[in-house]
Amino acid sequence: TQLLEQSPQFLSIQEGENLTVYCNSSSVFSSLQWYRQEPGEGPVLLVTVVTGGEVKKLKRLTFQFGDARKDSSLHITAAQPGDTGLYLCAGALTGNNRKLIWGLGTSLAVNP
């Protein structure tokens, strides 16, 4: 059973388009992180959200944590080819802060 469902699994868009990636669960998380991974490299932490309803912005990326802390979204405005990569969400379950639960990732390709 996959505790964190990410959608879509694959996304191919043109430069300049907007997109949203979703991360959903029936479990409550004490925190949730978004990572970006390029081929042949390890994931790089983008942001951590902790409070229900929290919104964080990182340049053209907007991250939101659901009010009930069960889901999150990543919105990219005016995507660029440099945004291409695998986007991963990972959550820390309440009461268990030792191990992250990982989504399967969204593979994004931004075409020039």
Residues that bind other proteins (CB under 8 A): 6, 30-31, 33, 35, 40-45, 48, 50, 86, 88, 90-92, 97-100, 102-105, 107
CA distances (Å), 23 to each of 15, 35, 75, 81, in order?
Answer: 23, 12, 12, 23
Instruction: Please state the closest distance from residue 16 (CB atom) to other proteins, in A.
Output: 25
> Of 35 and 63, which CB lies nearer to other proteins in the complex structure?
35
Distance, in Å, from the CA atom of 63 to the CA atom of 43, rounded to the nearest integer, reads: 17
Q: Cis bond leading into 8, ω under 30°?
A: yes
Instruction: Please state the closest distance from residue 100 (CB atom) to other proteins, in A.
Output: 5
> Of 17 and 41, which CB lies nearer to other proteins in the complex structure?
41
> Of 42 and 112, which CB lies nearer to other proteins in the complex structure?
42
Q: 91: how many CB neighbours lie within 10 A of its CB?
A: 26
